[in-house]
Chains A and B, each alone.
Chain A
Amino acid sequence: MSETSSVGIVTAQTAHFSEPLKLKSGEVLPAYDLAYETYGTLNADKSNAVLICHALSGNHHVAGKYAETDKYPGWWDNLIGPGRPLDTNKFFVIGLNNLGGCHGSSGPSSINPATGKPWGADFPVVTVEDWVKSQARLANHLGIDQLAAVIGGSLGGMQALQWTMSYPDRVRHALVIASAPNLTAQNMAFNEVARQAIMTDPEFYDGHYYEHNTVPRRGLRIARMLGHITYLSDDAMGAKFGRKLRDGEIKYGFGVEFEMESYLRYQGDKFAGEFDANTYLRMTRALDYFDPALEHGGNLSAALAGVKAKFLVVSFTSDWRFSPARSHEIMKALLDNECSVSYAEVTAAHGHDAFLMPDPHYHDILRNYLQNIRTEGRE
């Protein structure tokens, strides 16, 4: 295998959009910013652009580091770079922070120009369709008419799927990974518990906690702990922590005794310190609301009737939050429409988190699929 490396040092950019964005809810966002990063070089006929859509807690910092001293690179760094599955020698890769986010794009924690104060609870509820619309405007901003591919895992996969429906002529390939055509009741139930944890936190102040110089840290923490349980499989948690005790003995109390508790608390604390609670509410709502079949009487095949993109659908055997059965539904609807689609069910122990892991077979799948995408002269 050839040498692979990171994209190196990267810089975030911000694009301002002054054209109002009409949202699915009916509300209008008069103007907004989108934070984004790009890796690689856009080719002469602008045919090699790949958009990465992030999931619940992701952002535009997909690959590379801002400084050599950064502890961690972007959230999908193992995928992107020269010689990596998404090869930046070939592709021009775009990552963005979705609307409603908390990492530079307009969202509840950014300033509402109308009031000069943070939007807080007043920031509108955004949907996957709204995101895709704003992403298309970002593509316009970058001078890109048609994307070679849109790639996303989980909630990101929903955006990739939505792209093919909203803009069938503007995307040639969609890589829909560990995703679903909508959430099951059980899956939405986890989101509701997470939101309740946040909204019942006394520091939440109906979403206007910025004015009180506080954050609903306890709620966010519990929401994230719950999330982490569902992203891992029982086996993966068993293998990682089992019943291991942190100090080797039972203490008959309620402190951190088991390794698993230590992990969850660490993840919860870390997240609560860097993520915005109002953003979390909106991201989970976007997940809940995504249901392209709804307008077609529950018929996903009808929803996908006009798509032109070619598809790669990937699921992971131990992923119970976005199970292979849900990917089958997407695959079936694509088959019903005689779309070009390949489907891989990757044997993996890591549950939903597997889509971010550098499993060799999984990466071979992505590498081979992406290698086959033609960029010069298009398809």
Chain B
Amino acid sequence: MNATQNLEKIAEYRQDFAIIANWLKFGSKALDLGCGDGELLHFLQGSMKVRGYGVEKDDANWLSCLQNGINVIQMDLEAGLSGFEAQSFDVVILSQTLQAMHNTENIVHEMLRVGREAIVTFPNFGYWRNRLQLMAGQMPVSRDIPYQWYDTPNVHLCTIKDFDQFCENHNIHVKERLVLTYGQRIQFMPNLRGSLAMYRLGRK
């Protein structure tokens, strides 16, 4: 990755983070599922004084969280969130992890049990570049979905339209939905033109 691309990536990440920060109240209690190296929580602790815990399975990521000064719980999300009391968090975040979950329905349900609100973000499989690659006869590989079909952890990729329907079918209230491409907000034909979908969810 060259310097410009790197900057672009940071700008986009910040945009993604900034939107999540904007959806939180100052001093919120947040649970970040699949928190990676803790970058998002670190940002939210700094910008919004969020009191947060990360959940991460991977050893190396877990250590990075610790180094980032994040409280981090090592556990497998597939087992659910049985260690967390109902409605014990202001918000539960699942940032770009939904597509890699096996037990997708359960985790979304669990997020709304544990949190008063849930934030879910995922790469939009309906993005035109992905569609173009499929039209050309191959599984999409991009910066947002950077895996080959045989080594991808992503087992439940979906489009914005799919997820809207999922929420409808599961009685989930979509409080807000934002779609981004390279950090820019997409309002016109988001399922075609948007690469990253961000949802703010609650119970109906």
Contacts and interface: CB of A to CB of B under 8 A. Distances in A.
Nearest to A369: B66
B83 A332 contact: yes
A326 B62 CA distance: 20
A361 B74 CA distance: 13
B53 A368 contact: no
Interface string B63-79: 10111011111110000
A328 B67 CA distance: 22
B59 A342 contact: no
With most chain B CB atoms within 10 A of its CB, the pick from A332, A335, A347, A361 is A335
Size bracket, chain A contacts = 10 to 19
A108 B67 CA distance: 45
Size bracket, chain B contacts = 20 to 34
Contacts of B83: 328, 331-332, 335
Interface in B18-52: 29, 51
Contacts of B69: 372
A12 interface: no
B63 A345 contact: no
A343 B83 CA distance: 12
Given A335-B88, A336-B85, A338-B51, A372 B66 contact: yes
Given A332-B83, A361-B59, A344 B71 contact: no
Nearest to A315: B74
Given A328-B83, A335-B53, A344 B62 contact: yes
A27 interface: no
B91 to A, nearest CB: 15
23 contacts: A331-B73, A331-B83, A332-B84, A335-B73, A335-B83, A335-B85, A338-B29, A340-B71, A341-B71, A342-B65, A342-B71, A342-B73, A343-B72, A343-B73, A345-B74, A345-B75, A347-B59, A364-B63, A365-B62, A365-B63, A365-B66, A368-B66, A372-B69
